[in-house]
Structure 1
Amino acid sequence: MITFAQAFTAFFAALVVTKSYADLKRGRENIIMFLFWVCSWAVIVFIAMYPAVVDLFFAKLSGETGNSVATALAMGLTFVFFIIYRLYIKADRVEKTLHKLVSELAIKEREE
């Protein structure tokens, strides 16, 4: 049975991969970054679908079993990773726009 956390993660993963693919097709993103985001979100979805992996990881770290905070922490991490993706996209667009603007200004200045 799919829980809210799993649906939450799958939704954000689908959103990011779709957006990244659209940016790839428009030339806003290169293939390396597209593959990075697809692989990253595939790992996140895998962890969301198999939360026992997260519980096992936290059990090894803390030495405790049955860590109930692991699912909430994984959901928070998913949301943070989504925000990082959005910030990366926005920063990349600003950088490209700034580069284009500086190039145009340099060409105009040279012509004068």
Structure 2
Amino acid sequence: YSRDEMISSVDKGIFAVSFGGGQVDITSGKFVFNCTEAYEINNGKIGSPIKGATLIGDGPSILKEVSLVGNDMKLDPGIGTCGKAGQGVPVGVAQPSILINKMTVGGTKL
């Protein structure tokens, strides 16, 4: 699916474009990710920006909620660092757009 096809299939939702931090509990799969860019989706169209959107959930449950996978696989050009106990390692990420049916989201409408 193209990103536009995925967005047009959503009545009400959030389009999370980029992320700037978060945490993952590797033993339970629970996560919190902060969106640095996100927008409302209303009736299949991108709407107002959302400030401070936070995505909350756990990996196994969210994987069950994936309903569409995009055909736009690409590597994020940024390099981040993951760390624990004072040690860091460079990390990168690549994935296509995905449509998740439901998840917990926090934030403020602009």
Q: TM-score, normalised to structure 1's length?
A: 0.22
More helix by share: 1
User: What TM-score does the superposition give when structure 2 sets the normalisation length?
Assistant: 0.23
User: Rg bigger for which structure?
Assistant: 1
Structure with greater strand percent = 2
